[in-house]
Amino acid sequence: MASPSPRGSTELPDHAPHILVVDDDRRVRELLARFLFEQGFRVTSAGNVPEARTKAQCFVFDALVLDVMMPGESGFDYAREVRKSSRVPILMLTARSNPNDRVMGLEIGADDYLPKPFEPRELILRLSNIIKRRSPGGEGQAVGHDTVTFGPFSYRIDRGELRRADETIRITEREREILTILAQAGGGNVEREALAGGGGLAAERSIDVQINRLRRKTEVDPANPLFLQTVRGVGYRLAVD
């Protein structure tokens, strides 16, 4: 579940970059969430790798900020796992000064490395730079990708890019998260709770609104959808080719 507004009054737009912060220190997580929000980022946080893995099943992230030293699975372990299937930008954090840690992180596939304690403005600059490098058309963009098609549409999962022939369809970050989860299901049913990210009844109800918006962008007749289908009593499915 994405972190609520730290200030409790201003909501960020859906297209704001979404960052996953993984650190076992609650104080660090809260400080990072507050600071990143104030700089225009959406933030989801996790206290360990298993929790991060669960969050990653519910959301599409524009970058990961991973602490290296955590109980159980380390940030290195998770970065190595993520790199098997994704090119999402990764910024590693560590309190250690050992240069071998930096080398290991970069060998695994991390995009940048920042030792603790760090200057918050430097974190923002480094994070913005690695996101820019990984963006379509930027340096170091991903080569491999998975694409699903449904009717005249294609959806590239690694970029969160929806296209109809040569036209790119503009979708919000929340719509992208939902479409990615549905696409990864390969035409299978997806429960409403999974699409809502465990956000409770209110979040589940908002899914209907997001699905309707997606239908207006992809269906000839949104009231009688061919692709984004409702599965009664369960949730939704994407009728992929």
What domain range is 199 assigned to?
147-238
pTM of the model: 0.56
Which of 134, 158, 176 is a domain's end point?
Answer: 134
7 domain-assigned:
no
- Tokens coding 117: 């304690």
**Which CATH number is 51's domain given?**
3.40.50.2300
**Structural domains of the chain, count:** 2
Q: What is the pLDDT of residue 125?
A: 83
- Mean pLDDT within 192-218: 76
Q: What is the pLDDT of residue 1?
A: 41
Q: Are residues 22 and 130 in the same domain?
A: yes
Q: Are residues 194 and 114 in the same domain?
A: no
4 domain-assigned:
no
10 domain-assigned:
no
Half-sphere exposure for 35 (CA within 13 Å, toward CB) = 16
pLDDT band at 97 (very low <50, low <70, confident <90, very high): low
Distance between CA atoms of 219 and 67, rounded to whole angstroms? 42
Distance between CA atoms of 111 and 184, rounded to whole angstroms? 25
200 domain-assigned:
yes
Q: Are residues 112 and 155 in the same domain?
A: no
99 domain-assigned:
yes
Q: Are residues 98 and 176 in the same domain?
A: no
Q: Are residues 74 and 34 in the same domain?
A: yes
9 domain-assigned:
no
- Mean pLDDT within 69-75: 90
Tell me which of 196 and 221 has the higher pLDDT.
221
- Mean pLDDT within 22-29: 92
201 domain-assigned:
yes
1 domain-assigned:
no
Q: Are residues 129 and 23 in the same domain?
A: yes
Q: Token pair 């480094």 is at which residue?
A: 126
User: What is the number of other CB atoms lying within 10 angstroms of the CB of residue 95?
Assistant: 12
**60, 103 in Cβ contact below 8 A?**
no
Which of 107, 134, 161 is a domain's end point?
Answer: 134
**Which CATH number is 188's domain given?**
1.10.10.10
Q: What is the pLDDT of residue 213?
A: 92
Q: Are residues 121 and 162 in the same domain?
A: no
Q: What is the pLDDT of residue 202?
A: 54
Question: Could you tell me the CA-to-CA distances from 50 to 23, 75, 133, 205 in Å, in that order?
Answer: 12, 11, 28, 27
Q: Are residues 129 and 22 in the same domain?
A: yes
- Mean pLDDT within 93-109: 72
Q: What is the pLDDT of residue 6?
A: 47
Which of 134, 161, 179 is a domain's end point?
Answer: 134
